[in-house]
Amino acid sequence: MRRVLDGLYAACGVIAACALLLLLLVILAQILVRWLGLTFPGSTDYAGYFMAAASFFALAYALNHGAHIRVSLLLTRLRGRARRIGELWCLGIGSFLAWYFAFYAVKAVRVSYRIHDISQGQDATPIWIPQLSMAIGTIVFAIALTDHLVRVAMGGEPKVGDGGAIE
């Protein structure tokens, strides 16, 4: 199971990197088209979609590599059992909030699909398509937080990392 979850987090990291590359290509195409005196309708919308996809798909990957900012002012002062309880509390609240957000992200996709909502920009994209990246990214992030919560609850050390810790 560990290999499957780590593979899922890594795959989301790869998707986030690909979304950033696509964002770069859209921006470069927009520059090129502008130099040629042409237009690229919807390019800013597409850039926004790729930026959102990169952000949401990167959440779980960043969590596992200690790239999230953790305000660990209190946790660093705790030792032993108190530290474990503090970690469990933080991961529990984080997991709850991530699942809450994931629920509503999926609901937003479903509603947008049902009412045939399209973007307000020139591209007229069905809005549920770019919203999928938000829904999938938040679900995988919620899985990652729950994974860390279960790991700490089973006696393991938190693998969240303190790479971005503010102490």
Three state DSSP letters for the chain:
CHHHHHHHHHHHHHHHHHHHHHHHHHHHHHHHHHHCCCCCCCHHHHHHHHHHHHHHHHHHHHHHCCCCEEECCCHHHCCHHHHHHHHHHHHHHHHHHHHHHHHHHHHHHHHHHHCCCECCCCCCCECHHHHHHHHHHHHHHHHHHHHHHHHHHCCCCCCCCCCEEEC
Least confident segment among 58-62, 69-73, 99-103, 110-114: 69-73
pLDDT of amino acid 160: 66
pLDDT of amino acid 137: 97
Show the tokens assigned to 89.
Answer: 């509390």
Provide the mean pLDDT of the chain.
Answer: 89
Q: Where are the domains of the chain?
A: 2-166
CA dist., res. 38 & res. 165, Å (int) = 47
| pLDDT, average across residues 86-93 | 90
| pLDDT, average across residues 117-128 | 88
Q: What is the pTM of this model?
A: 0.86
CA dist., res. 123 & res. 50, Å (int) = 14
CA dist., res. 163 & res. 159, Å (int) = 11
CA dist., res. 49 & res. 55, Å (int) = 10
